[in-house]
Amino acid sequence: MHILQLVPSLEVGGVERGVVDISRGLIARGHQVSVVSSGGPLAEALRRTGATHYELPVHKKSLFSMAACVPALASIIRTTGVDIVHARSRVPGWIGWVAALRTNRPFITTAHGFYSAQIGSRVMVWGRFVIAPSDSLGRYLIDTFNLPKARLRVIPRGVDLSEFQPQPPRKDAGPPWRIGMFGRLSEIKGHEVALRAVAALIRQGLPVKLCIAGDLPGSPQRNALAALAQSLKITDAVEWHGVRHDIPDLLASVDMVAVPSVYPESFGRAVVEAQAIGRPVVASRLGALAELVQDGQTGLSVPPGDADALANAIKRLIEDPALRERCVAAAQKRVLAEWSLDGMVDRTVSVYEECLTRPRIVVWKLSALGDVILAGPSLRAIRAHFTDSFISLVVGRKAYDVVARNPDVNEILLDPGESGPHGWRKRWQLIRRLKQDGFDLSIDLQNSRWTHIAPWLAGIPRRIGYKRKLAHLLTEPVPLPKQAMGPVPHQKHLLAAAGIPMKDERLKVWLTERESQSVDKLLQGKIRPDAKGMVGLHPGGSGRWKTKRWDIDRWAQLCDELAQRQLQVVITGGPDELDLAGELSRLAVSTPLMLIGQTSVLELAEVIRRCQVFVAHDSSPLHLASAVGTPTVAIFGPTDPRRHLPPAFTGQVIKKDVFCSPCYSPTCKTVTHACMKRIEASEVIAAVLGLLPRPCASST
């Protein structure tokens, strides 16, 4: 893998040192690492790890500067073959997010702070995965930014145990007791609290010295703290060590470490490094520090901002050698088990691999029920290719039941399918849901304007679909095949262009004992006792496509002819086709079993499964029949069976070649409806009898 990390600068700090550490670990495992920053003292240390450093002004908050960085960063991503963009701060995060979208790369973030809930911080929860170095920060991101828990990965920062090895107490341990405080000079780090605690200890007659590192001589922060030390009359009790790179030696030179932060820390690197070296720690009971220090066991915890409590804790450690030893031993054991650098790198690599090999996928198929049934082989192929991925399917509400039990799908999302402000509001909620869940790949089996727009607005980095409608919103538009194809081969062609092979084109529905019992009850006592077999007829279909329907009087003729041959005729249909039941009953001499409006989609599939032969127009029951393996007579008129016949079709197609067919029009422009009227009942009867088992087909 080639990982690109984004950080504002490479100054000496916990985040920056973490970038160097993770780079070293990734490269040791055979991965390639690039880092983009504005530069700094750690740039040379980064290069020594084998990482490549690119200097860009990604620290500047000006919108103009940020916009100027995007094309440069995108160029680096493309030309160097970056696989993943990993941002570790907000301003670089915005730049990286846009560049990742432009280059279709996965975007990951690591949150290093308890950010305020403002727009500038939100990019840090837009990563495919969001890494938090502590449970407390993870909970904060979920509560404050509505980060879905499924996208959160808690990976504590690690310590290089080869560098931070246990050190014995300093040989000249004793008065003055040296208290280390290491980190950037910032109000949130609690330096003022530490100075006041030292003043309190000195007033009690306890000789202590506060050793402060991480400052720049002459900086406003250092000047302010020096002035406070002078006012507290403890100037001689403060050592200023400036910016230091030899942190292990610095830690070994003190007797204990104080981390009195007054604002929640995302982790607390200073705590873990001190514990690894073997120095007892006093830390605020706040944020991640409360997780790192178990009070009285691996160190001492104090309320944040309480100088007296800090002074008392330091005094307790000084006066109780046995407590110091117990805390050091327990802390070192915990560091080894939970906070090693190798462990951190391994967990981070797992996140990268999950992102690249187990993408979160959304598949779109919103149209009629039959088309959703026909999407089954594509879903099976996607699951076979992405075995461990999370796959969501977006369908219309009417198609939910037929895919609800599909084992190849983890989640079904319903498309509102409504027009007007109310419908668009619901669709916007769907877009927000997709964006929050961090999908990596959109596969458009619908190829409508809406299914091109939605994944683009949701920021899904890889968007595959056919090159039609708003194809410029796709990242991988696939040219339409030049020859006519069946629906499943048509989808197979699209998936093949995306590198997803389809080996099994069979349709399938998932029936259970529930449907079997329901149909048993529905048919109980209604099947004629002398019936040689059962034939299902579906005279209806899409209400919009009345041109697909065969004349009802010929359906009635078919009913009577089959009844004369001692066959049980079952009429199926949906609740919106009840008018057909009345008309057919009026026209037919025989009395077929009317099940129109009495079955769910899956119960209809079970009824069709029990038939010896099924007869239908180009409609969803035709696909259900193929899925349950029932031989079918398919009546086609204004549509082309080459494009709509289900795979593994068993049966016979009846279609008349007229000059205007296929017209794909819901209204007959010639008014003659010749493509359907030329189909005689005798032809359909002959086809049914030809498909029946021999005993069923024999005449009475």
CATH of the domain at 40: 3.40.50.2000
Cross-strand pairs, 239? 211
Does some domain include residue 127? yes
Do 19 and 138 sit in the same domain of this protein? yes
Q: Give the domain extent around 118.
A: 2-154
- Distance CA(408)–CA(11), nearest Å, equals 48
Note the pLDDT of residue 364: 96
Q: Which of 292, 307, 338 delimits the end of a domain?
A: 338
- Are 442 and 309 within one domain? no
Does residue 348 carry a pLDDT above 90? Answer: yes
Would residue 677 count as lying in a domain? yes
The verdict on residue 183 lying in a domain is yes
Q: How does DSSP assign 55-88, residue by residue? A: E--TT---HHHHHHHHHHHHHHHHHHT--EEEE-
pLDDT in tens, 124-170: 999 989 999 999 999 999 999 988 888 899 999 888 888 899 999 88
Q: Per residue in 617-635, pLDDT tens?
A: 988 899 999 999 999 999 9
Listing DSSP states for 332-358 in one string gives: HHHHHHH-BHHHHHHHHHHHHHHHHHS
- Same structural domain for residues 279 and 365? no
Q: What is the DSSP letter of 653?
A: E
Q: Is the same domain home to 408 and 306?
A: no
Q: Kindly state whether residues 313 and 385 are assigned to the same domain.
A: no
Q: Which amino acid is at 653?
A: V
Element (H, E) at 361: strand 361-364
Domain edge (last residue) among 119, 154, 189: 154
Per the CB < 8 A criterion, the answer to whether 361 and 389 are in contact is yes
pLDDT at 420 over 70: no
Number of domains in the chain: 4
- Of 16, 84, 36, nearest to 247 by C-alpha is 16
DSSP string, 236-284: GGEEE--S-S-HHHHHHTSSEEEE--SS--S--HHHHHHHHHT--EEEE
Report whether pLDDT(679) > 60. Answer: yes
**For residues 409-426, average pLDDT:** 82
The answer to whether the peptide bond before residue 662 is cis (omega within 30 degrees of 0) is yes
Do residue 363 and residue 393 come from a single domain?
Answer: yes
In a domain, 348, yes or no: no
Query: Is 214 among the domain residues?
Result: yes
Q: Report in angstroms the alpha-carbon separations of 107 from 4, 37, 93.
A: 10, 17, 9
* Cα separation, 157 vs 110, whole angstroms: 11
If 0-12 CB within 10 Å is exposed, 13-18 middle and 19+ buried, where does residue 228 land? middle
602 and 642 co-located in one domain: yes
Domain-located, residue 483: yes
Q: What is the 3-state secondary structure (H, E, C) of 427-471?
A: HHHHHHHHHHHCCCEEEECCCCHHHHHHHHHCCCCEEEEECCCCH
Answer whether 363's CB lies under 8 Å from 379's CB: yes
How confident is the model at residue 101, as a pLDDT? 86
Cα angle: 328, vertex 332, 172; to 5 degrees? 45
One domain for residues 235 and 122:
no
Dist. CA 434–CA 419, nearest whole Å: 20
- What is the structure's pLDDT at 437? 84
Q: Do 288 and 368 share a domain, yes or no?
A: no
Tell me the pLDDT tens digit for each residue of 283-306: 999 999 999 999 999 999 999 999
The pLDDT tens digits of the residues spanning 48-104 come to 999 999 999 999 999 999 999 999 999 999 999 999 999 999 999 999 999 998 898
Which residue, 44, 49, 93, is CA-closest to 73? 93
pLDDT at 545: 79
Helices (H), 81-134: 90-103, 119-122
Same domain? 100 vs 204: no
Q: Is 202 helix (H, G, I), strand (E, B) or coil?
A: helix
Same domain, 589 and 672: yes
Pairwise CA distance, residues 295 & 318, whole Å: 16
Please check whether residue 426 lies inside any domain of the structure.
yes
Domain boundary among the residues 338, 369, 395 is at 338
When pLDDT is averaged across residues 632-641 and rounded to a whole number, the result is 92
Token pair 């909970």: residue: 139
* Same domain? 452 vs 549: no
Q: Is 317 helix (H, G, I), strand (E, B) or coil?
A: helix
- In degrees and rounded to multiples of 5, residue 84 shows phi and psi of -140, 140
Indicate whether 589 belongs to any domain. yes
> What is the per-residue pLDDT across 654-677, written as a single tens digit (0 to 9) for each?
999 888 888 888 888 887 888 989
